[in-house]
Amino acid sequence: MPKKRELNEYSVDPAAQQMLARAEELGLETAFSRADKMVPCNIGSAGMCCKQCGMGPCRLTKSGEVGVCGATLDTIQARNLARSIAAGAAAHSDHGRDMAFLLKAVANEETEGYSIRDVAKLRIVAAKYDIPIEGRSPQEIANDLADLYISQFGQQRGEVAPVRRAPIKRQRIWQERGVGPRGVDREIVETLHRTHIGDDQDAEHILEHAVRTALSDGWGGSMIATDISDILFGTPAPLLGRANLGVIRANMVNVVVHGHEPSLSEMIVAASQDPEIIAYAKAAGAAGVNLSGICCTANEILMRQGIPAAGNFLQQELAIMTGAVEAMVVDVQCIMQALVGLAANFHTQIITTSPKVRIKGATHIQFDEHHALTIARTILKSAIDNYKNRDAAKTRIPDAQEDLIPGFSHEYINYMLGGSYRASFRPLNDAIMSGRIRGVAAIVGCNNPRSTHDYLHDKVTTELLKQDVLVVQTGCGAIASAKIGLMLGEAGLDQVGPGLREICETVGIPPVLHMGSCVDNTRILTVLTQMVEEGGLGDDIDQIPAVGLAPEWMSEKALSIAAYCVASGAYVIFGGSSPVSGMPDRVDDSDIVLKHISAGWEKAYGGKLEFIPDVDEMIRRALAHIDQKRAALGLPEYDPAKFGASGDGKMLALESLPIEQKRAALYGAGA
Ligand code: BF8
């Protein structure tokens, strides 16, 4: 029987716990309580159900059993995983396509409210593809870049252009294995074709095409999305932000933007600062309009505009539960259908905006880049009109928020490490080579109500920091760290290892760097490539002492990210359950799929994917991998005792000592 959990088993975030207590008080359901009631299907969750044709669904539960067509468990698992990767790639890359069309429209001056904010990035990106830049206007360059990028999605033959940004050795590996990605549209269609009844029936062969599909996302659609977001809205640089439900304001009209696209949310930010809108809000009795975000739309406007994040994926319902949200404006991806039913218990309007996403019962105000600012104003006025319907007696805003410094684009990290005249990754490579930084971990991805909200993110992050591992984050994982103060300049440094602390103090960075939304995992690929190009850490990504983790994954997008990171050379560890775990008591030789995505992919690409439910084991394997890569490079063995004897860290450690001991420690005995 499903069991209800204690509040602290639902979430480690006190703000979330308060809202979950409120849900119980009001008798309202959330994803947390629905997860308790909905026991996952153990056949489907292990990838053992095939529903690709009308002869099934075939559920394979015994060793050696096959489907009606004769499909084996391995074939079925590989098909299911490949289809999930294709769906994830589609979500990221279709967003990238929309950004490319937006860039084209902006270049042709057909839009309202947009401009090319980062001309320098436009020129740098265009030059990578040999688009002429000298003596040309930003619009002319943007027009050519938009045409090139639009053409990438349907490229039929040959690798997509951004692939040339990968290390040379990596490109050769892909070519030799025949997985150099063509356009994402072609790769996804081919995945669907190959996994249709009666097609590709060799699990490993299916999984190789899954790799190609994921690469067309990571080094194609997603990379394009990041480039264009930066060109149109500005490349992120550090600024001050805030995170958690306490950013919702009792005396203001609260508008929460949720989803993944910066195109409309950037216009809502602009419109919210319009004196006419502010006056309209004041006339309605509010102090103004307060914007905040959920999920990756939050990350997009947090890192560029400093707009606060109300929370990550599992906090979307909890934001409504505050009773103080006039409108939740959603675009695409990770939007729970339950929002509309929940909002009916309050006064919150759910406003859908994408031509691709409608929810029964929601208000639809369709986004159109030609009138974006006008639409943003309409949405804000609708929210302001709704302010009078707020029931103050039903309002509960948790007093919980934390400051953070987001905005660590790869361009900024480069500049920050080297300075404006000699931007370089040299100091980072040197710190890894000396052992001050043991290695790098990208801790990314979702929340999942099957595990305690934020617990795995927080645990893995804090433990790796203690071990001198520099952490970079995107997506909902980034918001988790922000909420516990790990992205706050030097404030979190008492929680990190001595060598890493020295580096953070010297460079002036937080120990956890917020690198953006989930499509911005491509920024991490760029950082890894630049570390290779800088020298000293091998000649390809798979040699760097680095690891990727998605401790609370749940979306198909995460699987696409995992596959393209593995194919780029990274060891990727997922927490929670494996979608290809198969039968626990399997007696035949196999588990071909599990072996292929770990040992098989490691042999082919130097990276591997593993699903590890135990958090301590996740951390142990991440550190073992980093140490093994250090040893392979001939770097000194990690030794925490070697560093941390200078700088603020030492002063902090000495603070509590009596003055004589402090003097002796600083100047030697007899001083
Ligand atoms: O794309 S981390 S829950 S919000 S899927 Fe969704 Fe997962 Fe959050 Fe951003 Ni990414």
For residue 474, which atom of ligand 1 is closest to its CA?
A: 2
- Expressed in percent and rounded to 5, the helix, strand and coil fractions of the chain are 55, 10, 40
- Cβ of 446 closer than 6 Å to ligand 1, yes or no, is yes
Which of 222, 260, 446 is the best mutation target for the ligand 1 pocket, counting ligand atoms within 8 Å of the beta carbon and taking the most? 446
- Cβ of 555 closer than 6 Å to ligand 1, yes or no, is yes
- Cβ of 518 closer than 6 Å to ligand 1, yes or no, is yes
- Cβ of 298 closer than 6 Å to ligand 1, yes or no, is no
Handedness of CA 404, 529, 210, 192 (dihedral sign): positive
Q: What is the pLDDT of residue 493?
A: 77
Q: How far is the CA of 637 from the centre of ligand 1 (A)?
A: 36
Q: What is the pLDDT of residue 642?
A: 85
For residue 557, which atom of ligand 1 is closest to its CA?
A: 5
Q: How far is the CA of 553 from the centre of ligand 1 (A)?
A: 8
Q: How far is the CA of 639 from the centre of ligand 1 (A)?
A: 36
Q: How far is the CA of 342 from the centre of ligand 1 (A)?
A: 21
- Cβ of 457 closer than 6 Å to ligand 1, yes or no, is no
Q: What is the pLDDT of residue 119?
A: 98
* H-state helical runs in 284-371: 295-305, 316-321, 338-343
Q: What is the pLDDT of residue 671?
A: 46
d(CA 197, CA 127): 45
Q: What is the pLDDT of residue 666?
A: 46
Long-range CB contacts for residues 273-279, cutoff 8 Å, separation at least 24 = 274/377, 276/377, 277/377, 277/380, 277/381, 277/384
- Cβ of 561 closer than 6 Å to ligand 1, yes or no, is no
d(CA 188, CA 10): 36
- Cβ of 475 closer than 6 Å to ligand 1, yes or no, is yes
Buried b / exposed e over 240-262, threshold 16 CB at 10 Å, is ebbbbbbbbbbebbbbbbbbbbb
d(CA 122, CA 125): 5
Q: How far is the CA of 92 from the centre of ligand 1 (A)?
A: 10
What end-to-end distance do the CA atoms of the chain give, in Å? 69
Residue ranges in the chain whose pLDDT is less than 50: 666-667, 670-671
Q: How far is the CA of 246 from the centre of ligand 1 (A)?
A: 21
- Cβ of 557 closer than 6 Å to ligand 1, yes or no, is yes
Q: How far is the CA of 668 from the centre of ligand 1 (A)?
A: 52
- Cβ of 296 closer than 6 Å to ligand 1, yes or no, is yes
- Cβ of 334 closer than 6 Å to ligand 1, yes or no, is yes
Q: What is the pLDDT of residue 414?
A: 81
Q: How far is the CA of 366 from the centre of ligand 1 (A)?
A: 23
- Cβ of 560 closer than 6 Å to ligand 1, yes or no, is no
Q: How far is the CA of 601 from the centre of ligand 1 (A)?
A: 25
Question: Two tokens at 389?
Answer: 């319907």
For residue 475, which atom of ligand 1 is closest to its CA?
A: 2
Q: What is the pLDDT of residue 207?
A: 98
Omega of the bond leading into 57 within 30 degrees of 0 (cis):
yes
Q: Whose CA is nearest to atom 9 of ligand 1?
A: 296
Which of 450, 555, 556, 574 is the best mutation target for the ligand 1 pocket, counting ligand atoms within 8 Å of the beta carbon and taking the most? 555
DSSP-derived secondary structure letter, 97: H
Q: Whose CA is nearest to atom 6 of ligand 1?
A: 334
Helices 647-654 and 659-667, interaxial angle, to 10°?
150
Q: Whose CA is nearest to atom 1 of ligand 1?
A: 518
Q: How far is the CA of 376 from the centre of ligand 1 (A)?
A: 24
- Cβ of 295 closer than 6 Å to ligand 1, yes or no, is yes
Q: How far is the CA of 554 from the centre of ligand 1 (A)?
A: 8
Taking Cα atoms as reference points, which of 475, 477, 448, 540 lies closest to residue 222? 475
Q: How far is the CA of 205 from the centre of ligand 1 (A)?
A: 29
- Cβ of 336 closer than 6 Å to ligand 1, yes or no, is no
Q: What are the φ and ψ backbone dihedral angles of 348, each rounded to 5 degrees? A: -65, 130
What DSSP line would sit under 478-531, residue for residue?
A: HHHHHHTTTTSGGGGGGGS-HHHHHHHHHHT--SEEE--SGGGHHHHHHHHHHH
Spacing of C-alpha 301 from chain mean position: 14
Pair 332, 352: CB distance under 8 Å: no
- Strands (E) in 203-339, as ranges, are 241-243, 253-259, 289-294, 309-311, 327-330
Q: How far is the CA of 506 from the centre of ligand 1 (A)?
A: 33
Q: What is the pLDDT of residue 417?
A: 75
Q: What is the pLDDT of residue 506?
A: 85
Q: How far is the CA of 259 from the centre of ligand 1 (A)?
A: 9
Question: Two tokens at 34?
Answer: 């629905």
- Cβ of 445 closer than 6 Å to ligand 1, yes or no, is yes
Q: How far is the CA of 558 from the centre of ligand 1 (A)?
A: 8
Q: Bridge-partner residues for 614, per DSSP?
A: none
- Cβ of 453 closer than 6 Å to ligand 1, yes or no, is no
Pair 223, 95: CB distance under 8 Å: no
- Cβ of 313 closer than 6 Å to ligand 1, yes or no, is yes
